[in-house]
Structure 1
Amino acid sequence: MPDIQIQHHEQQGRFDTRVDGQLCVLDYQLRDGTMIIQHTGVPPAVGGRGIAAELTPAALDTARQRGWRVRPVCSYAVAYLARHPEYQDLAA
């Protein structure tokens, strides 16, 4: 996957990027210092390229920088955290 440009829209609780014109997102809510990852969405037209695997660490790295805990609700984010022990310290 070539470098993609991920934007963080904190007011909207969203990380996003466009790939081949398709909007790919990771949505979250921030509650009491905890980032609740609710949804990752990659359209089928650009699926299978590792885009969610770029969005998720962008969100987790931001949480770490801001001192937030993380509670994944989205099944993709749950699986990502389980596979990446370097982020286990963020788990709420």
Structure 2
Amino acid sequence: MTTGPTPSIHESPTLELRANPDLGRYDLWDDQQFIGFLGVEVLEDGTVDVQHTIVAEAFGRQGYARTLVTFVFDQFREQGVKIRPTCTYVLDYLERFPSYRDLVAETPDPRNQE
């Protein structure tokens, strides 16, 4: 794991990350209020394509996207999941917070193999 700045996140006790595999995403809720989601696709090699970070307009520019990505990445790290980020927000996040770069898969992308 590379060291670097730690992302500042919302620490509300009512924030909850919910896996939503039927829709291919992780949802962030604050009590009964939907905040946003991180869209994912599990690839044939078990890595996860992190595709979209979407936060409801009312919660934009308040750090909720960063909180969502951090929650998901912390869970992935605990589970030993590797990622293949295609979401531009996530790519920027990994530049800002290099301590999460160890999650990026180093093996060839199965979608690029013939």
Query: Counterparts in 2 of 1:1-92, with a 5 A limit?
Result: 1=10, 3=12, 4-19=15-30, 21-31=33-43, 32-92=45-105
Contact (CA 8 Å) 1:28, 1:37: kept in 2 or not?
yes
For residue 49 of structure 1, give the secondary structure of its aligned residue in structure 2: coil
For residue 50 of structure 2, give the secondary structure of its aligned residue in structure 1: strand
More helix by share: 1
Q: Which runs of 5+ in 2 are unaligned?
A: 1-9, 106-114
Instruction: Report 1 or 2 for greater relative contact order, CA contacts < 8 Å, sequence distance ≥ 6.
Output: 2
- Quick check: which has more Rg, 1 or 2? 2
Question: What RMSD, in angstroms, separates the aligned Cα atoms of the two structures?
Answer: 1.9
Contact (CA 8 Å) 1:56, 1:77: kept in 2 or not?
yes
Give the TM-score, by structure 1 length: 0.84
1:12/1:86 CA distance change after superposition, 3 Å: same
Q: Which runs of 5+ in 1 are unaligned?
A: none
Q: Give, as a single letter, the amino acid of the residue that structure 2 aligns with 1:78.
A: L
Contact (CA 8 Å) 1:6, 1:15: kept in 2 or not?
yes
Q: Which runs of 4+ in 1 moved over 4 A?
A: none
What is the alpha-carbon distance in structure 2 between the residues aligned to residue 70 and residue 90 of structure 1? 6
What is the alpha-carbon distance in structure 2 between the residues aligned to residue 56 and residue 26 of structure 1? 7
More strand by share: 1
Q: How many residues align?
A: 92
Identical counterparts, % of pairs: 34
Contact (CA 8 Å) 2:27, 2:34: kept in 1 or not?
no
